[in-house]
Structure 1
Amino acid sequence: MLVHLGLPSSPIGAVAVTVGSFDGVHLGHADVIRRTVAAAATAGARPALITFEPHPRCVLDPANCPQSITTLQEKLALVESCGIEHAIVLRFDRELAALSPDEFVERLSAVMDVKRWVIGFDFAFGRERRGSAEWLRAHGHTVDVVPPFQVEGVDLHSRDVRRLITGGEVHEANRLLGREYAMAGPVEAGDRVGRRLGFPTANIGIEPNKLVPALGAYAGRARAPEGEFIAALSVGYRPTFGGTQLRVEAFLLDFEGDLYQQRLELRFVRYLHPDIRFPSPDDLVRQLKKDVEDTRRIVLR
């Protein structure tokens, strides 16, 4: 997949294109992308996807800027796995928001020959959201409108996934994503409290604006350079030790080695319990042992 930061610097030829934020690349997004790939094959074109960074709401309504289910890097990897050949990342700012539908389409037409648009049922673009499927058709474009993707009779939206993750219901969020929710980052130096307790953990750096699950313990997995491991995950402040810094950390089961400064991907399978302040370190250790047992049982079943 070719990634274009901004409009392509030279024409990319005939495409079937879809446009949107695609935050989370959930099952509904995957459906739109699959249809785009199929439309491109029918039209003798290449499948292309246009997305925005940052999320448009962060510019148009900063007070309600959503945290990102997927970072840009994660989003691009996911859309590539769905078959997109050209990913175009447009910086969303006031200037882009002010373009009329005519101006937006004119800019695209200068660098691609859009054979077919594949868009969601609520798609709108251009200043004051004046552009729509009807507008595109009235201006001679071929448009496929994808109906709402439903899970158990309910339309799926990225906000539903965010709500579930921030509420700790990661197993339900995973159903809507079609995969396990993940966070990734470099392993940072910690205060080695876990090692002193017999449970050495790896703390990962949290990427800016990345959605963090509810505070608590989770059963999960970790992908390290050495392979994939079952992992007891924790999101919290280490209240037993008076911590004040939010940490996302993992105890990798059946792992020995040093992960410092290596990139680690953590995947959340199921919420176990809240972030608890224990009366003593011994009480914490007893809970950690139980968390490890529960994690192994949940992940392996």
Structure 2
Amino acid sequence: MKVLTEENLPLKEETVCTIGNFDGFHKGHRFILDRVIESSKRQGKSSLVITFEPHPKTVLSSGEKPCRITGLETKIDLLEDEGIDYLYIINFSREFARKDPEEFIKFLTEKLRCRTLIVGHDWKFGHQGKGDVQTAKQIGRKYGLKVEVIPPVKEEDKRISSTQIRNLLKKGKVEEVARYLGRDYCIKGKVEQGNRIGSQIGFPTINIKPPEDLCLKKGVYSGLVKLNGQLLPAVINYGNRPTVDGRETVLEAHIIGKKLSFKPEEVKIFFKKFIRDEKRFSDIDQLKNQIKADIQKAMKSLEVLK
């Protein structure tokens, strides 16, 4: 998959495209992406996803802003796994938000060469969200754009939504989240140098910087770490490490039963089950004993122990 910049525009080839935040990257999103790929292959065109960074509501909302389900790096990785050809990231700003619906459709067709646009039934676009799927169809006829509308995707008779997934993540319900995503909840990131306290107490960790304002409940989880194509069992901590310093929010994973002989550049962390809340311990020995107990619980939940 190629991430496009302004220098790549206008595209040479025609595309089948979709547009959205894709924050949850849930089953509903993946259904749309499957249709984009299927339609692009059938038409002999390239598949294109257009997304925003940052989330439009963080720019436009004067009230509470939505927490993040998926950071940009993870989103790019998931789109690549789906088999999308191109990704175009719009730097969302108040200026961009002032584009009227026709201006936006013109941009899609002339710069991104989109000939078929596939979106959800409730898609809105243009200044103050004045454009909807009917507007897009009407303007699209003028610019040679066909618009295909996808109905809501449901799980157990409930419409799947990013709002629903945010609420579950805030409660640490990653097992339930996996049902709506159609995959394990995961975060990908570049490995950072930690303060090596884990190594000093016998539990070395791989540390990545979590996306800002992540929806995930702070605490300890069982899960898997993907390294060089291999999935390794792990106990994961997301939080502020109150026993150690309590200042910085970190995401760290201790690989169970394996000592790494190298420092990976990036990893993907999969969350399987919430184990316990974040807690401050009176001393390091108490923390070490708790980590041992966390590892045992993680191993049982991952069925490492038979």
State the match for 2:268 in structure 1: 265
Contact residue 222 and residue 302 of structure 2 kept, 8 A: yes
Aligned-residue Cα RMSD (Å) equals 2.4
State the match for 2:108 in structure 1: 108
Task: Give 1:205 shift.
Answer: 2.5
Contact residue 34 and residue 83 of structure 1 kept, 8 A: no
* Matches of 2:113 and 2:195, distance apart in 1: 56
Contact residue 105 and residue 136 of structure 2 kept, 8 A: no
State the match for 2:238 in structure 1: 235
State the match for 1:256 in structure 2: 259
TM-score, scaled relative to structure 1: 0.89
Task: Give 1:145 shift.
Answer: 0.8
| TM alignment of 1:151-170, pairs within 5 A | 151-170=155-174
Q: Does 1:146 align with 2:150?
A: yes
Task: Give 1:155 shift.
Answer: 1.0
Contact residue 68 and residue 215 of structure 2 kept, 8 A: no
Which blocks of at least 5 consecutive residues in structure 1 are unaligned?
none
* 1:178 alignment partner, one of 163, 179, 182: 182
State the match for 1:46 in structure 2: 46
1:264 alignment partner AA? V
Contact residue 71 and residue 187 of structure 2 kept, 8 A: no
* Matches of 1:47 and 1:78, distance apart in 2: 15
Task: Give 1:66 shift.
Answer: 2.5
TM-score, scaled relative to structure 2: 0.87
Identical aligned residues as a percent:
30
State the match for 1:291 in structure 2: 294
Secondary structure at the counterpart of residue 123 of structure 1: coil
Task: Give 1:6 shift.
Answer: 4.2
Task: Give 1:176 shift.
Answer: 1.6
Contact residue 7 and residue 88 of structure 1 kept, 8 A: no
Q: CA 1:43 to 1:163, structure 2 compared with 1: closer, same or farther past 3 Å? A: same
| TM alignment of 1:1-301, pairs within 5 A | 1-6=1-6, 8-61=8-61, 63-139=63-139, 140=141, 141-207=145-211, 209=212, 211=214, 213-225=216-228, 227-241=230-244, 243-257=246-260, 260=263, 262-300=265-303
